[in-house]
């Protein structure tokens, strides 16, 4: 069976990024993200709810997040859901879901991309390069070329 594990989130950091390094020297940063949602209840009243999510970013992307982000910074995150388990200090098994970021985009306060601060990191084993050229992937097609 084919599976899909892709997450897109846009929100604000709940705390300053926490940068650490693995024993092999790879940077990893954890950011807390608050994602807001507004909806109307059955009475037509606007309700607000917040979903809090921990996000991990790795390697150079982790260092850039630590250098440029702070509590309150707006970001757009693309990644995948990951289930972590560990044993707590009391010996109890603990677990939680978090997002492993493939891409973190820094946004300005209005939610638009901030300058060219768009850092892609590909964690797959195969080449999955992204084209950033203006107009990449856009094809001019005359109406006569469409078969219907």
Q: Which domain holds residue 30?
A: 7-117
At 108 the pLDDT is 82
Q: Residue 46: which CATH number? A: 2.40.50.140
At 1 the pLDDT is 85
Q: Whole-angstrom Cα distance, residue 144 to residue 148?
A: 9
| Number of structural domains in the chain | 1
Q: Considering the domain boundaries, does residue 2 fall inside one? A: no
Q: Considering the domain boundaries, does residue 62 fall inside one? A: yes
Encode the chain (148 residues) as per-residue pLDDT tens digits: 899 999 999 999 999 999 999 999 999 999 999 999 999 999 999 999 999 999 999 999 999 999 999 999 999 999 999 999 999 999 999 999 999 999 999 998 766 666 644 444 444 433 333 333 334 344 444 555 555 4
Q: Considering the domain boundaries, does residue 129 fall inside one? A: no
Instruction: Please spell the DSSP secondary structure of the chain, one letter per residue.
Output: ------EEEEEEESS--EEEE-TT--EEEEEEEEEEEEEE-TTS-EEEEEEEEEEEEEHHHHHHHHHH--TT-EEEEEEEEEEEEEE-TTS-EEEEEEEEEEEEEEE-TTSSEEEEEEEE---SSS------STTTT-----GGGS--
Q: Considering the domain boundaries, does residue 133 fall inside one? A: no
At 8 the pLDDT is 98
Q: Whole-angstrom Cα distance, residue 12 to residue 22?
A: 26
At 110 the pLDDT is 64
β-strand partners of 53:
33
Q: Considering the domain boundaries, does residue 12 fall inside one? A: yes
* Beta strands at 74-87 and 46-58: parallel, antiparallel or unpaired: unpaired
Q: Considering the domain boundaries, does residue 131 fall inside one? A: no
At 69 the pLDDT is 96
At 60 the pLDDT is 96
β-strand partners of 35:
51
10 within 8 A of 99, measured Cβ to Cβ: no
At 93 the pLDDT is 96
Q: Considering the domain boundaries, does residue 53 fall inside one? A: yes
Q: Considering the domain boundaries, does residue 109 fall inside one? A: yes
């Amino acid at each position: 069976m084919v599976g899909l594990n892709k997450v897109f989130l846009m929100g604000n950091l709940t705390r300053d990024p926490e940068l650490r390094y693995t024993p092999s020297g790879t940077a990893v940063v954890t950011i807390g993200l608050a994602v807001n949602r507004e909806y109307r209840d059955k009475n037509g009243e606007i309700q607000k709810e917040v979903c809090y999510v921990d996000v991990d970013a790795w390697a150079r992307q982790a260092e850039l997040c630590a250098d440029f982000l702070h509590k309150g910074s707006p970001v757009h995150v693309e990644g995948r859901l990951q289930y972590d388990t560990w044993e707590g200090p009391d010996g109890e098994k603990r677990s939680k879901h978090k997002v492993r970021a493939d891409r973190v985009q820094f946004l300005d306060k209005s939610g638009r991309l901030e300058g060219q601060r768009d850092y892609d990191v590909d964690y797959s084993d195969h080449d999955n390069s992204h084209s950033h050229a203006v107009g990449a992937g856009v094809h001019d097609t005359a109406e006569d070329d469409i078969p219907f």
